[in-house]
A and B are shown apart, each in its own frame.
Chain A
Amino acid sequence: MEIIALPLNQKTEPFMEFFNTPQKDCLTFDPPKNETMKTRNLFVVLSMLLGSSAIAQLKTVEFEEYDLKNGLHVILHEDHSTPIVAVTVMYHVGSKNENPERTGMAHFFEHLLFEGSENIGRGEFSRYVENAGGVLNANTTNDRTFYYEVLPSNQLELGMWLESERMLHAKVENEGIETQREVVKEEKRQRMDNQPYGSLLSETMSRAYTEHPYQWPVIGSMDHLNAAEEADFIDFYKTFYVPNNAVLSIAGDIDIDETKKLIKKYFSAIPRGTQEIPRPDIIEPAKTAEVRDTILGKDQLPMIVQAYNIPAQGTEEYYAVDMLNQVLSGGESSRLNRAVVDEKELALFAGAFSFGLEDPGVTLAFSLANMGVAPEEVEAAMNAEVERLKNEPISDEELQKLKNQIENNFVSSNASMAGIAESLANYHMYFGDANLINTEINRYLAVTKEEIMDAAKKYYTENNRVVLYFMYDESLESSN
């Protein structure tokens, strides 16, 4: 569970950034047009960075789970309220598993695995799903790759067939490789180069880590992708795309027994992987001095980012850090918003969220300075709020507010079948306990005021951080 969804758009790299376009035939409700048009776009984008989401719910999510002989872990959740089903497969491979000379492979592979299989021609994968009235997509993070289809429930078997084909004998031809190479380059240009503050996360992570593979971005290096050869692809597929490295999670309008039969039919014959699955055991050394830098770019307003290295997700201290971030930026009454945005009027936006990862991650605090405000001034105001948390415990009322917010987030999450399937798979893959979907809230609620203070003292230190100023590059004025 994350209090705050991992929000920056580089977190995951979906196969297609596509299904955000609503059908415009009264099937959706849009606010009046002149409203949206005058929205200050960037502000909205930044609000989404902090869009709190994803906690579990108080109402129990029932599920069943088991392993096939080939090691595939299966999780099933039955819910008949809408005649749809989410068929998902999560592979335990992300950018951290990559060869440092072949960064970007995990995400590139995600693209390639829509190309087809022994029985599915090039381009037919999406066609089958869409023709059945479904949607499909995938995304890749530092730690895992996730594929899903949401289908009318009578098309459950189609989803099984497609995912089993992908796992058993995906087929990638040269034409597809060349096409997707270019598509990924465009994706990088669109999502990073041509996006406001699009390099924020990659610039931060490359400094927050010196040893651990989290230092390179999920999208990877274009040179590495250019250099990748057929043998690299085959090796990657045989190593990671095996049932014993995957979770099949299905949620929706299903009959559990029928579903189990279909799973046996489509997945049981897929052979277990024979190669050892590399899992990096690199431990990022503790920082001994602050890393500070200025990045010049085309964005007009200074962005101030502070990244502190924190423990892995799921640890007790991780929950305390997450609660600390909630104190700093959960809602308009949160401390950073109140002090930096409302009272001192230094920033357009200020926030903090944890980038919780399987291995020790980072927590980010950031502010977008108002026009004409010096970044140093903003940073000082951010630091003052952090110092306050080190020196005095939060009030009882503030703690109660955090708990109420967490409860609300828990209830509101898991509203969709796709979301439930993904959460179940996540909890199993990272913690070996899918039932955390129901119980992780208790870990948050158990965090005390003292633990929040301790987390601030231990992790929010000068030596443990990267501070970046993203500033406007004046030299751009003369060109174009």
Chain B
Amino acid sequence: MKIFKYTLLVAISALFVACAAPLDRSVVPMPAAAPTIQLGDYDTFTLDNGLKVIVVQNNKLPRVSYQLTVDRDPIFEGDKAGYVSMAGDLLKKGTTTKSKAEIDQAVDFIGADLSTYSSGAYGAALTKHTDALLALMSDIVLNPAFPQDELDKLKKQTISGLASETTDANSISGNISNAMCYGLDHPYGEPQTEKTTEAVTRDDLVTYYSTFFRPNISYLTIVGDITPEAAKAQAEKYFGAWEKAEVPSMSYEKPALPEGNKVCFAPLSGAVQSVIDVTFPVDLTPGEDDAIAASVMNSVLGGGVFGGRLMQNLREDKAFTYGARSSLSSDPVIGSFSAFASVRNEVTDSSIVEFLYEIDRLASEPIEDSTLQFIKNNMTGSFARSLESPQTIARFALNIERYGLPKDYYATYLSKLEAVSKEDVLRVARKFLRSENAYITVVGNKEEVAEKLERFSYDGKVKFLDIYGRDYVDLAPAPEGMTGKDVVLNYVEAIGGVDALAKVKSTSMSGEMDMGQVISLTQKTKDNSMLSMEMSMGGMVVMQQVFDGKAGMVAQMGQKVAMEEEELASMKKQADLLYEAKLDDYGTTAELKGIGSFDEKPAYVVEMTEKDGTVSTVYFSVENGLKVFETSTESTPQGDMVIATTYKEYMEVKGVKFPKVISQTVGPQSFVITYNEILVNPRLKNSDFSVN
């Protein structure tokens, strides 16, 4: 019995033990011993032609990838912006022996990936197909043909793509932030437009390719199921014949910060959200001493964790947005900071307040120890997770080579991260963040949002931009019922009216322009049908134009050329003071686009289309009806050029007003003509207008 009892007790106590440890769910599980994080190895070697090869062997999958990186400096493309990336696209659209269709078929047949871009190419395939892949890749890189028809096709697609971007808030945001941050005259800030795309020629691509696609500035990164020996043999075989050459290097001025915070706004019809970006250039190069501390600092703000301050503040606390983040990017030329979110229209201003608050807070007070630890933990984990992909080791190796980082930069990354203190974070926040010299770019609904943002600009004004980051011409609707012709006739009235103009039989105007040397200019008209113009320098006539009503000629440096039909038609209009009063007779139409502004004063914007299709946009002052500005595009041997003319200081002579000062810009040049004598009805003879 005793025994029984004992057994029962044991049984009961065993039962008790079984349920004895009900899980205490309030206890957060402790981590097990930390696993070691091991960085895989890589091999490097250089071919005779200077091509540096990086090999990362990883046999997990029967697959190999090849990435070719041409490490050139950024290129400013100017009025042909886009040609560099088009050259990259076109690489795989035809070689000296294969058409695009043949290349596509060959790539797809082996189930491979193959893409090309302006600074290289990427290919990947199953191990058994790598020779077929490399034969194609080598042909594309060494023997591209840049077929004209493929370029034409690409241009068409590019222009369509650009058109579709005109209403894409995120694309526009990227454009205007780059334009502001780096400037329109910087390779990172210049826009590619329809016009710059049109201007690209095959020669541009060929020149780009032959100048920059050289092995001695390039890296070939091979990753996957391959031994270093086999990789070396492949590199030699497929890229050994690539010829090296001297490659030019380029450098650029560092973009300046704005004087104070400046709101830059690109209007987008019907937008339901504002895309906000607080951005400025940052002088941060890859791998520099402060790079890791800067990365910690950015993570605290919003660079990689949901627990970042921007996300917690703007999303989890205020529900302004689906996500708010920041990035701090290093770059050998110039880095940048960016803090961004898409927020609903009515909280756009409140969101900017929070962005600036968080940026400023990081640069004014040290972060908490727990925050620092949190970010370090997360970055350590992020580093470990990134190693899941064998491409990561390859990237590390490439960065070490490209940016001249110490060989152990990544091997010691975690200990460098661990060493970052909160003082470091504060120091780099002060060094890199600018809560008072930032561009605040916004793409959104102008009516609902823009005005409320004025207070964020240091000068109290919102700068309006077009979708490429250029100044935005903002048109208000014109009064109901008013037409373009009304505005033009109003101008005729403003300069004296038809009656006064009809009394003008001849004119003579003399003036000067200063182009380093003074150039004198005389211009005469007679009977509203004849015209002459003469330019002289130091008493020598350098250019002469004469039109007798029917024929015309241009004399330049002693050479006479007869005017052609197009020029004659233009002369005819210029000779006629009543041209604006007789638009119908000349077949010119005038369309009123709305009210814009010129020199911060309201002006009617009229688009005038001449019989031959020439279009010019003319601004007429709302206040006094006078013509103040005109812009048109003219074809020149250097390509299309925009001609912009400004009319100032109208003076009255015998009841008719003439602009005394005319300034004109043609492409990159500009000059100002100042008239010092304007005569109405001087005695002029028909022989003054003889073309012979």
Contacts and interface: CB of A to CB of B under 8 A. Distances in A.
A387 interface: no
Contact of A133 (B26, B72, B85, B377): B377
Contacts of A164: 25
Contacts of A127: 307, 374
B32 interface: yes
Interface of B, secondary structure class, is mixed
A476 B382 contact: no
A157 interface: yes
A333 interface: yes
A43 B29 contact: no
A24 B298 contact: yes
B157 A133 contact: no
Contacts of B188: 33-34, 37
A382 interface: no
B363 to A, nearest CB: 19
A408 B112 contact: yes
A338 to B, nearest CB: 7
A194 B344 CA distance: 10
Interface stretch (A140-148, A241-249, A295-303, A426-434): A295-303
B156 interface: yes
Interface string B274-287: 01000000000011
A2 B35 CA distance: 35
Contact of A186 (B104, B169, B319, B382): B319
A186 B159 contact: no
A368 to B, nearest CB: 7
A133 B418 CA distance: 13
Contacts of B104: 331-333, 338
B25 A119 contact: yes
Contact of B304 (A21, A342, A406): A21
Contacts of A454: none
A479 B398 CA distance: 50
Contact of B384 (A17, A32, A82, A265): A82
A299 B269 CA distance: 11
A27 B385 CA distance: 11
A165 interface: yes
Given A35-B119, A161-B28, A269-B23, A24 B107 contact: no
Interface string A118-156: 110001001110111111100000000000001111111
B635 interface: no
Contacts of A186: 273, 319-322, 342-344
B606 interface: no
Given A186-B342, A334-B108, A476-B270, A194 B377 contact: no
Contact of A128 (B28, B380, B382): B28
A432 to B, nearest CB: 28
B642 to A, nearest CB: 22
Interface in B556-605: none
Contacts of B357: none
Contacts of B386: 27-28
B167 A196 contact: yes
Contact of B107 (A193, A333, A400): A333
A425 to B, nearest CB: 19
Interface residues of B, number: 132
Interface string B294-331: 11001100011111000110011101111101011111
Interface string B27-42: 0111111111100000
B554 to A, nearest CB: 38
Contacts of A136: 306
A301 B160 contact: yes
B306 A133 contact: no
Contacts of B32: 154-157
A28 B446 CA distance: 37
A153 B306 CA distance: 21
A275 interface: no
Given A130-B374, A158-B28, A404 B109 contact: yes
A34 B84 contact: yes
A412 B63 contact: yes
B311 A41 contact: no
Interface string A337-369: 010011001001000000000000000000011
Given A26-B403, A27-B386, A179-B319, A154 B25 contact: no
A24 B286 CA distance: 9
B304 A23 contact: yes
Nearest to A83: B35
A417 interface: yes
Contact of A83 (B30, B37, B291): B37
A193 to B, nearest CB: 5
B268 to A, nearest CB: 7
A375 B549 CA distance: 50
Contacts of B333: 33
Q: Name the residue among B166, B321, B380 with the largest chain A CB count within 10 angstroms.
A: B321
A416 B82 CA distance: 36
A106 interface: no
A408 B126 CA distance: 6
A266 interface: yes
B377 A21 contact: no
A269 B23 CA distance: 9
A30 B158 CA distance: 23
B192 A407 contact: no
B74 A370 contact: no
A400 B388 CA distance: 32
A368 B164 contact: yes
A39 B117 CA distance: 10
A430 B286 CA distance: 47
B273 A189 contact: yes
Q: Name the residue among A30, A189, A330 with the largest chain B CB count within 10 angstroms.
A: A189
Nearest to A269: B23
A332 B108 contact: yes
Given A38-B82, A332-B108, A25 B35 contact: no
Q: Name the residue among A37, A83, A158, A479 with the largest chain B CB count within 10 angstroms.
A: A37
Contact of B108 (A133, A187, A331, A370): A331
B367 to A, nearest CB: 14
B62 interface: yes
B34 A152 contact: yes
Contact of A123 (B23, B30, B291, B316): B316
A370 to B, nearest CB: 5
B166 A300 contact: yes
A283 interface: no
B385 A35 contact: no
B123 interface: no
B111 A406 contact: yes
Nearest to B58: A81
B156 A370 contact: yes
A40 B162 contact: yes
Given A154-B33, A156-B32, A165-B25, A196 B298 contact: no
Contact of A345 (B105, B153, B325): B153
B153 A84 contact: no
Interface in A422-480: 476-477, 479-480
Given A40-B165, A161-B29, A131 B108 contact: no
A348 B163 CA distance: 11
A147 to B, nearest CB: 14
A480 B446 contact: yes
5 contacts: A18-B306, A157-B31, A186-B273, A186-B320, A477-B269
Given A134-B385, A300-B164, A479-B270, 4 more contacts: A40-B158, A300-B163, A300-B167, A301-B164
Interface of B: 23, 25-26, 28-37, 60-63, 72, 74-75, 81-82, 84-85, 88, 100-101, 104-105, 107-112, 117-120, 124-126, 129, 153, 156-171, 174, 178, 187-188, 192, 267-273, 275, 286-287, 291-292, 294-295, 298-299, 303-307, 311-312, 315-317, 319-323, 325, 327-331, 333, 342-344, 373-374, 377-389, 395-396, 398-399, 403, 405, 409, 413, 445-447
4 smallest beta-carbon distances between A and B, as pairs: A133-B381, A408-B111, A83-B35, A182-B319
